[in-house]
Amino acid sequence: MAKTGKKFKAAFEKVEQGKAYELPEALQLAKDTVCTKFDSSVDVAVKLGVDPRKADQNIRGSVVLPKGTGKKFRVLVFAKGDKEKEARDAGAEFVGADDMVKKIQDGWLDFDRVVATPDLMGLVGRLGKVLGPRGLMPNPKTGTVTFDIKNAIDEIQAGKVDFRVDKGGIIHASVGKASFSVGDLEENVKSLIATLVKMKPASSKGQYIKGVNLATTMGPGIKVAYVS
């Protein structure tokens, strides 16, 4: 434990507290302060000038990161008939309807993303209390409630990231792995920010992007200068 403590301390000491780093420098610093033996995720937190209590400012959406996420997702699809076959052909790990609902109700959660055809959302709705808090509930705004199952799965595997503003007005998203180049990570971060800027509500006044921070898994937080 002492060894791990020293590693964390050394990583935190590399970050100048209160300093806002330019994005490429911040990303390099994140890579230099990795504290794990595995390939850490690089996570971004964006503070928005919105009030999530207002329906039109409850930002929610998705973006396909140009350089991907570095992850392979286990996709569960709720579909029947031809759409069930489409899902299997597109590479879905799990496909079904009532049988999948029962498995989940019995405690099974060995999947990473969920897609559903619109006609089965009444069925999937029974799982709201299980999937909702885990950010797994299919939603039209993120393209996961659709009859175009193949495209939905292709986007997920290509690097699609879903996001939703939390109660504090912050968006959290993973933008790749520490093994990615600084250039690839920078492209992913800018793509996320550009998507958020396009989604700025007309009722949001004043500064919209209030702050950006990033960190690797279990690594120190790094403040980023304004990203355009």
CATH of residue 138's domain is 3.40.50.790
d(CA 96, CA 88): 10
1 part of a folded domain: no
- The tens digit of pLDDT for each residue in 86-96 reads 999 999 999 99
* Same structural domain, 151 and 47: no
CATH of the domain at 43: 3.30.190.20
115 part of a folded domain: yes
- The tens digit of pLDDT for each residue in 149-207 reads 999 999 999 989 989 999 999 999 999 999 999 999 999 999 999 999 999 999 988 89
DSSP string of the chain, one letter each residue: -HHHHHHHHHHHHTS-TT--B-HHHHHHHHHHT---SS--EEEEEEEES--TTSGGG--EEEEE-TT--S----EEEE--THHHHHHHHTT-SEEESHHHHHHHHTT----SEEEE-GGGHHHHGGGHHHHGGGT----GGGT-B-S-HHHHHHHHHHTEEEEE--TTSEEEEEEEETTS-HHHHHHHHHHHHHHHHHT--TT--S-SEEEEEEEETTPPPEEEPPP-
Report the mean per-residue pLDDT for the chain. 92
d(CA 103, CA 182): 41
* Same structural domain, 80 and 140: yes
191 part of a folded domain: yes
Number of domains, the chain? 2
Give the domain extent around 24.
16-69+160-224
* Same structural domain, 182 and 82: no
* Same structural domain, 59 and 99: no
* Same structural domain, 147 and 167: no
Give whole-number Cα distances, 116 to 59, 108, 128, in Å: 22, 17, 13
**Closest to 117 measured CA to CA, from 133, 100, 135, 134:** 100
Identify whether the C-beta of residue 46 lies closer than 8 Å to the C-beta of residue 193. Answer: yes
* Same structural domain, 100 and 203: no
| Residues in a beta bridge with 114 | 76
User: pLDDT over 70 for what percent of the chain?
Assistant: 98
Domain endpoint, select from 158, 182, 213: 158
Domain endpoint, select from 111, 131, 158: 158
82 part of a folded domain: yes
147 part of a folded domain: yes
Per-residue confidence (pLDDT) for residue 11, from 0 to 100 = 82
**pLDDT value at 2 more than 50:** no
